[in-house]
Amino acid sequence: MSSSTFRRNSFRGVGCANRASSEGHVRRRGSSCSYISSGAQAEDFPVSLSQPMFTITLRFLLAIDLWLSKRLGVCACEESPWGSIRPLVRLVEFSGHVVPWLIGTVYTLLRGESAQEQEVMLNLALALLLDLLLVRVVKTLVRRRRPAQNRSDIFSTFFVERYSFPSGHATRAAMCARFLLAQLVDTASMRVLVVGWAALVSLSRLLLARHYVTDVGFGLAMGYCHYSLVERLWVTWDCLQDLLLMRLRERLNRVYGGLWMADWKH
């Protein structure tokens, strides 16, 4: 009985030793795999840092832009933290739209009492059209989508464009503010009022989550430069009259030439 018991114990010891050796082998394999994976991760880490510094900086700035724009969109909808003042902010937004500006400018141009006033209104109308054209070109080239929290309503469905960069309201506010300060406004109180209006229109785009911060910032810079272009291309009233008279003479000459050729054939 003792010899048989000894054999059983020896067989059990050999089996345990085999299992222990196999477990040790598995542990060694597992440790080697974890080492390889950690080594692969260590090799992947400098790959992200090997990108150009311009790309890393651009991504960092875009992340800040997204975060700040989301924090400022407090009037995006009625359920937002400042949703109760959304109608007031939308009224400020409408004051910077191109439609009321064009209607008011054309009306003042047609009802102008002096040639100087009509000249100013004419150049303001041309500046609004130029601003609208340049903003449309940049938006078509960039094709940046609007913020995700932007909510469509009746007003935005008919008048708001799909693309976000740059902000047309911001460019128009900066251009019109600089135009008014240079041509029409001459008192300190009115200057403060014009600058405050331009700032509120630009801020309304962020509060309503219509645009990102970079859209509004670039739009303000772009609108400021637009007036410099308008100032260089300023159309005087005498130049406009000469141009209209020249075009009228060309039309009359064409009509007279056509009538003379018709009489000659008969």
Q: Looking at the annotation, which residues are catalytic?
A: 169, 211
- DSSP per residue, 53-83: HHHHHHHHHHHHHHHHHHHH-TTSSTTSTTG
Residue 152's nearest CA partner among 71, 92, 76 is: 76
Residue 147's nearest CA partner among 84, 215, 79, 85 is: 215
Read off the tokens for 48: 């992200």
Angle CA(237)–CA(239)–CA(240) in degrees, nearest 5? 65
Q: Which residues pair with 163 in a beta bridge?
A: 145
Q: 60: buried, middle or exposed (CB in 10 Å: 19+, 13-18, 0-12)?
A: exposed
Contact 178, 230 (CB under 8 A): no
223: helix, strand or coil: helix
Give the sign of the dihedral formed by CA 107, CA 108, CA 112, CA 115: negative
**Cα gap 216→73, rounded to integer Å:** 13
Q: Which residues pair with 41 in a beta bridge?
A: none
Residue 224's nearest CA partner among 134, 162, 116 is: 134
